[in-house]
Amino acid sequence: MKKFALLLVALMALAGPALAAKPPKGTTPNPNLTIKSSAGTVTFGRSVTITGQLKGGAAGTGIELQQQPYPYNGGFKPTGKTAVVDPTGNYSIPGVVPQVHTQYKVVAKTSPPSESGTVFVQVRLRVSFKVSDSTPAVGQRVRFFGTAAPAHDGKPVLIQRKTSTGSYTTVTRTTLLDNGTDTSKYSKRLRIRRSGTYRVVVVSGDQDHLNGTSRTRTLKVH
């Protein structure tokens, strides 16, 4: 038993270092080249601005933005967006629109070129929400409808009502339907008996987008 325990410890010691994946050669970040995003999470279709600093770098040094989108196994590729370092050593790259969760880094055109660390931007689904009547009669059935982007056909749609404590509770459910290649759609009729504030949550159900939440709408019965 003692020999087995010693053998197990030895095997674990040998296996330990192999558990951590080694970064590819030439990708060690330059601590003097920083990177950050104006937001860590954005709604699909919205943009972020990537900024940073090249400490000790010459003004006019070129900066190239690279990306590695989910599932993060294709390596970093140029986005086509570039910038130059200003006299204070800073750079800014606006209008960056991730389609899915994406890792970003920049490469400074120094000699030799240097790379920053990475910044991670998550993308939530974009959900629109409309109603057929915002001032229904008591007991009237109102149609809740809208779209979600990008398309996620078959995913759950939760119609939620605001409670007296300010939280939301799900009052009915439906699923996303086909609406072409870009968006999915939903539609659900709900009998409204009293005034209230509603929102719609679409459950992503995948690893490349976060759940999406619509703006709220208030229905006032009469």
Same fold, 29-124 and 126-219: yes
- Provide the 8-state DSSP code for 26: T
Six-digit token pair at 9? 């410890």
- SS3 breakdown of the chain: % helix, strand, coil, rounded to 5? 10, 45, 45
CATH architecture for segment(s) 126-219: Sandwich (2.60)
pLDDT at 75 over 90: yes
Q: If pLDDT is split at 50, 70 and 90, which confidence band does 27 have?
A: low
**Average pLDDT value for the chain:** 89
Out of 3.90.1150.10, 2.60.40.10, 1.10.10.10, 1.10.540.10, the CATH code matching 29-124 is 2.60.40.10
**What are the residue boundaries of the structural domains of the chain, listed by start?**
29-124, 126-219
- Percent residues over pLDDT 70 in the chain: 88
pLDDT at 136 over 60: yes
Q: What is the mean pLDDT of residues 127-145?
A: 97
**Total length of the chain:** 222
List, for residues 76-115, the tens digit of each pLDDT value: 999 999 999 999 999 999 999 999 999 999 999 999 999 9
